[in-house]
Amino acid sequence: MKKKPFVIFGLMLLLLAVVIPAWAFWSNADPSQGREEVPANLENGQSLFVDNCGSCHKLYAAGTYGDFGPDLDQKLSAAGTPTTPEGIDGVKAQVLSAIEQGADDPTVSGRMPAGIVAGVEAEEIAEFVAATAGRG
C-alpha cells in the first residue's frame, strides 16, 4: 500500500483543521482589519463609531457588522448617496438627532437609546457616518 494518499490526506486535514481556523482567528483579532481608510479628519469619528455603535450597526467604512440595528449603508443612502455639502449636512443632522434623541426603527425590534455619546464625540460620529454611509 502506498503512503502518498495518506500523506496528502494528512496535509489537507492539517490545512482545514488548523491553518484556516488559526488564520481566521488572528485576522479577526486585529481591530482595524476590514476598516476602510478614511481622511485624517474622519479617523476619530470612525474609531468612536466602532467602539460605540459597531456592535449594533453595520457600516462598511467602519468594518462593523452589527446585527441588531439597521445597516446604515442601506438606511442612509436609500434616496441616493448625497454628494453635495448640503446633502451630507442633512445626513449628519439626521444621524446626530438619532444619537442625541434615540431612534425607533419599525424594521428591527428595540430602540436605540439616546445619549450613548454626546458633544464633540457625537458630532465626530455623525460627520463620519454622513461622509461614508452608502459609499462602500
Alpha-carbon torsion (86, 91, 96, 102), positive or negative: positive
Mean pLDDT score across all residues of the chain: 82
C-alpha cell, 11: 496535509
Q: pLDDT (tens digit, 9 = 90+) per residue, 16-69?
A: 777 666 666 665 444 445 677 889 999 999 999 999 999 999 998 999 988 888
What pLDDT does residue 75 have? 85
Comparing 21-25, 82-86, 121-125, the range with the smallest average pLDDT is 21-25
What pLDDT does residue 123 have? 96
Q: What is the pTM of this model?
A: 0.71
Buried b (16+ CB within 10 A) or exposed e, 70-103: bbbbebbbeeeebeeeeebeebbebbbebbbeeb
SS3 71: strand
Who wins on pLDDT, 31 or 70? 70
What pLDDT does residue 109 have? 59
